[in-house]
Amino acid sequence: MAEKTIGRDIVPPDLVAKITGRARYAEDFRAEGMVFAKMLLSPMPHARVRRIDASEALRMEGVLGVLTAEDVPEVSTPSEPILTMEPVYEGEPILAVAAVDEATAAEAVERIVVDLEPLPFALDPLLSLRPDGPDARLEGNIYHIDDDVREMRTHKWAAADFDGAPEGRLPMGEPAFDWSIGDVAAGLEQADGIVEETLIHQSLTHHPMEPRSCMAYWQNGKLHVHVSTQSAARCRASLAGMLDMDMEDLVVVAEFCGGGFGSKITAHPTMAMTALLSQKVGRPVMLRVTRYEENYIGRARPGFQAWAKMGFRSDGRMTGLDLYIVQDQGPYGRSGDAFTAATVASLTYQPEHMRFRGVSVFTNTPPRSAQRAPGGAQIIGMLEPLVDKAARELGMDRVAIRRLNAPASDGWVGPNKGSLTSAYPKEALDKAAEIFGWEERIARSGQTNGTRVTGIGVGLSPFVGGSTGFDGLLVIRPDGKLYVHQGIGNLGTHSIADTARAASDLLDLAWEDVVVVWGDSARHQPWSSVQAGSQTIHAHTRANHAAATQAKRKLQEIAARDLGGSPNAYEVGDGRIFQRSNPGRGMTLARAAERAIELGGAYDGHELDEDLHAMTRASATALAGTGLVSAAKDTYPHDGSTWSWVVGMAEVAIDTETGALEIMEFTGVADCGTVVHPRSLAAQIHGGCIQGFGIARSQKWVYDPKWGVPFAKRFYTARPPGILDVPLSPRWGALDIPDPQTPVGARGIGEPPVGAGSAAITSAVADALGGECLCRTPLTTDVILAAIEGTEKPYRPLETHV
């Protein structure tokens, strides 16, 4: 029998190309007659374009054309347009120029006169909520959604709501949305200890290494695009929607993606922009997005200005949690971060009573989208130091109080108290404490060595870990190999390979006999989940498992038909289908594939299941006759929602004379079901936690409030963490307890590490400062030193983007 691949390290099929530089990312492609595009970005945070005069640019030699808002489909407020005549953030694309080279395009942009009328702008949600505060958009400052209406509204609070603001207490006027479980007042009433804080969490640009460059050309009515996206099949679907065209006329090539973190989940307006510019000038167009541009158009995590009040019984059980979140929405859309934050808080602490209130306010800052653990990373990083504070007051161990409140598999989540597929955060805490050496390290909490004081921190971070109902598409070809067609993206997480293992293991194929087909929609993709929300390992081990189960059934039927006996008497192994009682009686999969083609019908893809998605159906139909074709939808039972967990534990040292923070040790332990790929899992835990370190200690936005213009717009000024900011040998572990409600047992892991990394640091810093929660991120050197020295803080109360 072939060795099972699940649970062991493999070499992913894209690895060699990546490390040798042979991998071609979007901007590496060239097409006959290709020209280059450059965008003109708004210099103002909010303005009306009165006039565009591109005549001088168009007269330049080598300039082919200009694409403006007039040339692109309109969208309805508050959706983001492809190009705009009313820019709502500094850096928003107003037009794009195509020219024979970038230097010419850049010069052409400089020669275009855009007459802009400045409009009022808002950078800080709280300022916009003031009675006389500015609105980020002409139509209002919130997008109201309820059962009956969806509309832009102006939402203002009373002046009296801001009475506590000068002291840094969050104003809490009329919320735009809320939910409750039980009676939070009663819950807090029952408490023996209360902690209450205003919390500030910064907005954060995603900063993937690869900007969202794009190349597009039209051939015989078909649009071909080379893009950087997280999700291949779903990107194709959403780009077709954006351009209002038939998906069949769209070829999306997305083989490699240099990171997305939620900023490239599906199609991006720049893809449509490039396609339309190509159409307009009649030439292939390459838009190489620069780092500077990526900062503006590359999406961001919504910041929170929040308030939390927690009540605990003397035994540490959380009796009540009252949460208010003011969300910085940016200029478009409606992010779910605040809702998810409340859901994550409910899951993590299982409060007996809980109330959540919030408002999501538009600002003239870059568009928001999901960022790796959207909402969850923010709330865990902010709330965990409060749990520490309660533990300190109650004289409890900080791991114990988390263990006590964390759910088991019978726990619940969210306003509807939904059930869980399984949950082992208590066990994860135990394992993390063991690997980290919590007992020994906690003894060093607050100890000083020279001018350095030690802090010990812990963060417990859940996030959704899977969806269901997608399709798998496999072909066993006459070469005897298994072709796993993937519609998911290749984000760098190895999902394209790791989800294929569900099929190869079930069919007992050696990994060398598996060909993963991915990235090019012309190569036939099944309908897939977005590669986001940590869905993929769960959704597509299921889908591929379903397809492999179907393939195995077809193999058994072919064998039985040719060799006699019942299909159930046949087994697959070592590249053959054979009789279980007489292993010599069988045929190779190569032969079975030939037979499938000869038999036709359902065996070679000419007949397909009814419940398949149209995209899968089209792909399978295109593959029909190439071998044993198996296309199946994931219909495995699934009750409750699927959540993964990561525990982060950190030891930090703070220099009390300089405020310098060093992370000395870190351990991350995951509860994410079955471990499919240990090395990749370690990379996810560490990478996510490091991203969390950046949130906690360095990464930020800075805006000049007078001009509404940002400064932290490249790597250096935005300060994501570098590898030297990470301890030399962070440790990791995983419970490897299969989730009972999914065939492979694996749950997603991309997201929960971020909150764990962030919270471990915010918790450790508070510990080093003797339990003082600064209750804002990032905890930069100046913030820490000002707290130690008691000098004026380097930020004003409630201030953001500082």
Question: For binding to other proteins (CB under 8 A), which residues are involved?
Answer: 38, 40-41, 43-44, 102-103, 106-107, 109-114, 116, 118, 290-293, 657-660, 662, 697-698, 702-707, 709, 711, 715-717, 719, 721-725, 780-782, 785-786, 789, 791-795, 802
CB nearer to other proteins: give 218 or 795: 795
CB nearer to other proteins: give 296 or 349: 296
| DSSP assignment letter at 3 | P
Residue 304's contacts (CB-CB under 8 Å, 6 or more residues apart) are 199, 200, 201, 325, 326, 327, 328, 337, 338, 341, 378, 379, 382
Can you tell me the distance from the alpha carbon of 555 to that of 578, in angstroms, rounded to the nearest whole number? 10
CB nearer to other proteins: give 178 or 799: 799
Q: Give least dist CB 376 to other proteins, A.
A: 25
Q: Give least dist CB 101 to other proteins, A.
A: 10
CB nearer to other proteins: give 517 or 785: 785
CB nearer to other proteins: give 115 or 607: 115
| DSSP assignment letter at 170 | P
Nearest to 690 by CA among 727, 742, 656: 727
Amino acid symbol at 740: P
* Alpha helical stretches, state H, 253-336: 269-281, 291-297
CB nearer to other proteins: give 97 or 406: 97
Q: Give least dist CB 620 to other proteins, A.
A: 44
Q: Give least dist CB 207 to other proteins, A.
A: 13
Nearest to 460 by CA among 559, 383, 362: 383
Q: How many residues does this entry show for the chain?
A: 802
Q: Give least dist CB 450 to other proteins, A.
A: 8
Q: Give least dist CB 631 to other proteins, A.
A: 45
Q: Give least dist CB 327 to other proteins, A.
A: 23
CB nearer to other proteins: give 560 or 660: 660
Q: Give least dist CB 655 to other proteins, A.
A: 8
Residue 630 phi/psi, 5° resolution? -130, 120
Nearest to 134 by CA among 641, 544, 705: 705
CB nearer to other proteins: give 49 or 670: 49
What is the b/e burial string over 618-629, where b = at least 16 CB atoms within 10 angstroms of the residue's CB?
bbbbebbebbbb
Q: What 3-state class would DSSP assign to 69?
A: helix
CB nearer to other proteins: give 118 or 625: 118
CB nearer to other proteins: give 560 or 786: 786
Nearest to 212 by CA among 22, 27, 482: 27
Residue 11's contacts (CB-CB under 8 Å, 6 or more residues apart) are none
399 with 669: CB under 8 angstroms? no
304 with 382: CB under 8 angstroms? yes
**90 is written with which tokens?**
């500094």
484 with 516: CB under 8 angstroms? yes
Q: Give least dist CB 301 to other proteins, A.
A: 19
Q: Give least dist CB 666 to other proteins, A.
A: 15
**Angle, helices 376-394/337-349, rounded to nearest 10 degrees:** 40
